[in-house]
Structures are given as structure tokens and as C-alpha cells.
Amino acid sequence: MIVSAQQTQTTRLSEATISAAGIKPEKRKPSADEKCGTMKNLEDLYRQNPGLKQANEALIQQLAAQNRNPQQGGGGVNQRLNAIVTIPIVFHIVLPNPYIVTDADIQAQVDRLNKDYSGLNPDSANVPAEFQAVRGHSQIRFCLAQRTPFGLPTNGIERRSSSTAYTANNPDPIKVPASGGLAAWDFTQYFNVWVGTGGGLLGYATFPGTSTGDQQGVVTDIIGTASNPCYVDPAYNLGRTLTHEAGHYFGLLHIWGDDGGACTSSDFRNIGGTCVISDPTLAGAAGDQAIGDTPNQGDQNFGCPSGNLTNSCAANPPGDMYQNYMDYTDDACMYMFSAGQETRMLAVFASGGPRASFAQ
């Protein structure tokens, strides 16, 4: 989930201020110093299903043992996708006036995804020279769905007039028709994206294999969706909330490893879930800093930093890779995935991977 870069000065939209006449921004203090609620959603899921967490951890340990011993079926066999995969997206817009997010806005959001994931975004020229060598270019592409699950023509956008807000809980009301939301389409064939309002959170995603099919997908706040100045917060006006959350959906963790500044967790550790990443070069142990190509980072960065950000985790220049989409910087100051992150995302599409159905 994504909230403001500055806790004390954040524009948020309450569902009550969105009407057919337009949107009136409401100033309010966010509930936490986070932008993304993906990890909270995962923690809530594990609290509700403690047996699932135990089973996932056991599976991760088993894979780690196999990777250390080729005779046990491991040895790090690398099965990664090396061809372009185009993913159909369906946008479920749930707002009191869902038509304020136009078809053109949604197409602009899809265009943004394609630029960012291909590494062809023009602002990638702003990536410092130290990180240009590891800047990624993925084979992931996106398009609006052209057929519904029932085979009917569609533009990949559906809307519902509703005051239902998202909660990042499981189940989430925005995904439940009986609660005023819109139901997911078959998650094995469509990338489900919900657009709504969520009480100070910019969005959240479900990791592969960590949620039921009817909850799989990404939720984004209207203030971070596309770039329409009528409703978008200026800090999030390049559509990169979805770039960030889609990264989680395809298996990426936050770049600082979600360890609260302790410098102990790797952002390339295994994500858990019933579909873990078995490639040992793309998913290591919790504190394995040898995996991946992003600097060890202590905590998230907000706003729009400049120059080198060195700290106790990355003491030498260039320091933190705050230009990375998996940090919390403003849209205008994040420009890149690393090559390792791109490869890790592609791995989930390979045969037997948690998102393999999109590549079939």
C-alpha cells in the first residue's frame, strides 16, 4: 500500500468528497509512514492462516536444502522466461463516480506500465552512471483485455458506482460484489487491477501463491492512478503506483527488505506462499545479501532525493538505489528496475512458476 511521502502534509481523497460533480481533495494525515500495504496484507493473511505460514516456511527450507545438494533434485536449475509475454489487464473501477477515471486515463496507465517494464521510459536517462550498468529491460508487456471470461468483447475496463473503499484485508470489500465491489476475473488469465479509495493507502498487491484466486491482483488509490490532474496527487502523477505494486504481484519485495532499518533482510529473499521461487540465484535466505544486484538498504526513502544517499547499510557511494520502483520515492524520481529484479519477475512466468499461465 502506498501513502504520502510526508506524513504531515499529504493530500488524500475521502470517498465522501468524490461526486459526480468532481473531486475535492481533502488534507488528512495518513495512518502510517508507508506507501504500500502489500506486506501488511501478507502478514494479515498469515495471522488468519497460521498453518499456511508454517507450510510455506517448511517449503522454503526444503528448496534451500535441495539447492545446496544436487542429489536431492536441486542444484539451481535455471528456468527463466526469455521471450516476451503480454498480459491482459482488467481494471475494476469502484468509486461513487467511476467515470471520472476515463478510458483514456486507463490507456495512459497501461502505456506507463509498458514503458517502465521494458526499460524504455525516457526518464531512465536520469539513472546515475553507477546504476546504469544494472538497469533492467524486461520481456513483460501489458494490454487491456479484449474478451471477458465468457468470451464477450470488452475494452478491459468495468465500473461500479459505489462508496465501498478498499481495506487491504482478506477478503477486501472492493473485490466482493455483495460488499459493493467488483469480482476478480480468472486470475490465471487476467491481471486484475482495482481502482478506488482506501483511507490513506496508495495501494497493495498480492504476492504469487499467497492469496485465494478471488483476491489475486493489485489495488490502487485513484490519487495514484494514471496522471489526470483532476484527481491525482502531484507526487504520484506518473502512474507508478501500479508499476510498484505490479512488481510485488510478479514476485518483488521492497528494495530495503522490510527490516525497519536493521540492514539484515534481503530484498531477494524468498517471498513465501504456496508458489515459491525455486531458483537459488533469484531467491536466497532472509539475510542473504549475496543474492541480487541492489545495494543493501536500511529503510525506505520518500520524496525526491538527489545525489548519493549513504548510510550504515550502504556506507559507500552511490549508496541507496532510491531511483528503484520498489522504493517509496515520488513518481518523478523513480526510473528503474535492476536487471536482477527483471530476471526474478520473468522467473515467475517460466514453466511451473506461479504466473506461468500468462505465458501459455
Catalytic residues: 245
Tell me how many degrees the CA angle 306-312-316 measures, rounded to the nearest 5. 60
**Crossing angle of the two packed helices 103-118 and 240-249, in degrees rounded to 10:** 60
Contact 290, 257 (CB under 8 A): no
If we measure between CA atoms, which residue out of 157, 154, 274, 277 comes closest to residue 216? 274
Q: Give buried/exposed letters for 103-129 (b at 16+ CB in 10 A, else e).
A: eebbebbbebbebbbbbebebbeebee
If one counts every other C-beta atom within 10 angstroms of the C-beta of residue 96, the result is: 18
Is 148 exposed, middle or buried, given 0-12, 13-18 or 19+ CB atoms closer than 10 A?
middle
Single-letter code of the amino acid located at 239: G
Q: Quote helix, strand, coil % in the chain, to nearest 5.
A: 30, 15, 55
Q: How far is CA 350 from CA 213, 277, 345, in A?
A: 20, 11, 10
Q: How far is CA 29 from CA 11, 14, 16, 167, in A?
A: 8, 12, 16, 17
DSSP strands (E only) in 145-259 = 157-161, 191-196, 203-205, 218-221
CA atoms of 360 and 355, how far apart (whole Å): 10
| Contacts (Cβ under 8 Å, ≥6 apart) of 58 | none
CA atoms of 37 and 32, how far apart (whole Å): 10
If we measure between CA atoms, which residue out of 72, 149, 107, 81 comes closest to residue 348? 81
Kind of pairing, strands 157-161 and 85-95?
Answer: parallel
